[in-house]
């Protein structure tokens, strides 16, 4: 065996060994995230594809010859690939939809603009064409919303200068509430559509590589769970934002266990963020959750709008509050 062949075999063993270690860490962090390694749990889909490609590599004789017992390595990749598949499939299983009385259709949008005015012009044009009823945008340039003619279709605004979050609606918004210092970046308001109230939450959490992300996500379920318990009997609630979290980690599952429903369920995990706009290696980190008398009809990821995020477009149905249509029916 030549020196070059031995060197190639050693590099291949190290590469596949590193991949197995990342798969183990990713699986562990999907259920119990660690402060500085929790980010590995967000790459379940990528590692699923990597496991499949690694198994295909072993069909090459030179690859098999680089390992003393290649069948053991193949079995490990079968186990890790199947584990990643189960985690992804469980998080994207079809959503259980509630029964609604006299539902009305609404369309909601979300976008992270990355402080790019050109991206905002594109996405506002998209929201206009798609006839969106209300939307949220993160990382909005300062004073962009003041007198902007592109916002004429949504005259009612809730804006947080310190958080650079904007919620815009065709119908009047109630007073805006912001969390206290140290809590997740969130803007909260409410609106009424044809006599039916819906609570709106726009959020932007820190990146998962920081310890602050874990602390924010620990507090986010508390905020939304409290909101869900206080509103589920009388009105609908919608939480949208750049959560910087994929659907297949435990911290995101905690949100759903508190009563929120993920509108992405039952749809392909199309990335909404890509490094430097390369969405083919991106992650689905922009989310939209619903609770109460709301039903998801369609979930879409929009086109590239000159940001490293893509917009979300979600079609919902808003029913009458349960307390309204249950009183006096027995």
- How far are the Cα atoms of 75, 76, 87, 244 from residue 30, in angstroms, in the given order? 21, 18, 8, 15
Whether residues 211 and 292 share a domain: the answer is yes
Whether residues 170 and 293 share a domain: the answer is yes
Average of per-residue pLDDT across 293-319: 95
76-124 pLDDT per residue, tens: 999 999 999 999 998 888 888 888 888 999 999 999 999 998 999 999 9
> pTM score, two decimals?
0.88
Whether residues 186 and 244 share a domain: the answer is yes
Whether residues 161 and 183 share a domain: the answer is yes
In the structure, how many helices (H) and strands (E) does the chain have? 8, 11
Whether residues 81 and 8 share a domain: the answer is yes
Mean pLDDT score of the chain, rounded to an integer?
84
- What is the pLDDT at residue 325? 36
CA distance 297 to 289: 13
144-154 pLDDT per residue, tens: 877 788 899 99
Per the domain annotation, does 96 fall within a domain?
A: no
In sign, the C-alpha dihedral spanning 46, 241, 197, 193 is: negative
CA distance 321 to 304: 36
Range with lowest mean pLDDT among 16-20, 180-184, 186-190, 277-281: 180-184
- Sequence-ordered list of residues with C-beta below 8 angstroms from that of 193, at least 6 positions apart, any chain: 104, 106, 133, 171, 318
Whether residues 131 and 220 share a domain: the answer is yes
Whether residues 288 and 168 share a domain: the answer is yes
CA distance 330 to 318: 23
Gyration radius of the chain over CA positions? 23
Residue whose token pair is 């590589």: 209
- What is the pLDDT at residue 329? 32
Where does 92-156 have alpha helices with state H? Answer: 117-129
- Domain end, chosen from 62, 91, 120, is at 91
Whether residues 195 and 320 share a domain: the answer is yes
Q: How far apart are the first and last CA of the chain?
A: 84
Whether residues 177 and 266 share a domain: the answer is yes
Where does the chain have alpha helices with state H? Answer: 3-31, 44-57, 61-65, 70-91, 117-129, 211-231, 250-257, 322-326
Neighbouring-strand partners of residue 178: none
Structural domain span for residue 87: 3-91
Looking at the structure of the chain, the number of domains it has is: 2
CA distance 272 to 308: 8
- What is the pLDDT at residue 330? 28
Per the domain annotation, does 198 fall within a domain?
A: yes
- Domain end, chosen from 66, 91, 116, is at 91
Whether residues 84 and 122 share a domain: the answer is no
């Amino acid at each position: 065996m030549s020196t070059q062949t031995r060197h190639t075999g050693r590099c291949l063993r190290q590469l596949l060994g590193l991949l197995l270690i990342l798969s183990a860490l990713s699986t562990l962090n999907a259920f119990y995230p660690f402060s500085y390694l929790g980010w590995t749990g967000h790459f379940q889909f990528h590692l699923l594809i990597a496991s499949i490609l690694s198994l295909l590599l072993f069909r090459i004789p030179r690859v098999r010859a680089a390992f003393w017992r290649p069948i053991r390595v193949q079995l490990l990749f079968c186990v890790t690939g199947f584990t990643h598949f189960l985690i992804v499939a469980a998080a994207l299983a079809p959503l259980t939809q509630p029964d609604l009385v006299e539902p009305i259709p609404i369309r909601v949008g979300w976008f992270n603009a990355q402080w790019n005015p050109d991206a905002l012009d594109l996405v506002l044009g998209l929201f206009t064409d798609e006839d969106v009823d209300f939307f949220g945008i993160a990382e909005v340039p300062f004073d962009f919303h003041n007198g902007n003619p592109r916002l004429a279709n949504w005259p009612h605004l809730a804006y947080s200068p310190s958080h650079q979050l904007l919620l815009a609606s065709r119908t009047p918004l109630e007073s805006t509430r912001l969390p206290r210092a140290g809590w997740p970046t969130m803007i909260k308001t409410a609106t009424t559509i044809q006599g039916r109230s819906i609570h709106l939450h726009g959020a932007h959490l820190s990146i998962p590589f920081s310890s602050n992300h874990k602390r924010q996500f620990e507090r986010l379920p508390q905020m939304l769970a409290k909101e869900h318990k206080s509103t589920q009997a009388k009105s609908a609630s919608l939480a949208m934002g750049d959560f910087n979290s994929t659907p297949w980690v435990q911290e995101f599952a905690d949100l759903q266990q508190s009563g929120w429903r993920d509108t992405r369920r039952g749809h392909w995990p199309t990335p909404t963020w890509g490094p430097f706009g390369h969405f083919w290696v991106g992650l689905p980190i922009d989310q939209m959750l619903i609770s109460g008398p709301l039903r998801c009809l369609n979930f879409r990821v929009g086109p590239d709008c000159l940001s490293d995020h893509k917009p979300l477009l979600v079609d919902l149905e808003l029913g009458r509050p349960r307390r309204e249509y249950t009183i006096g029916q027995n």
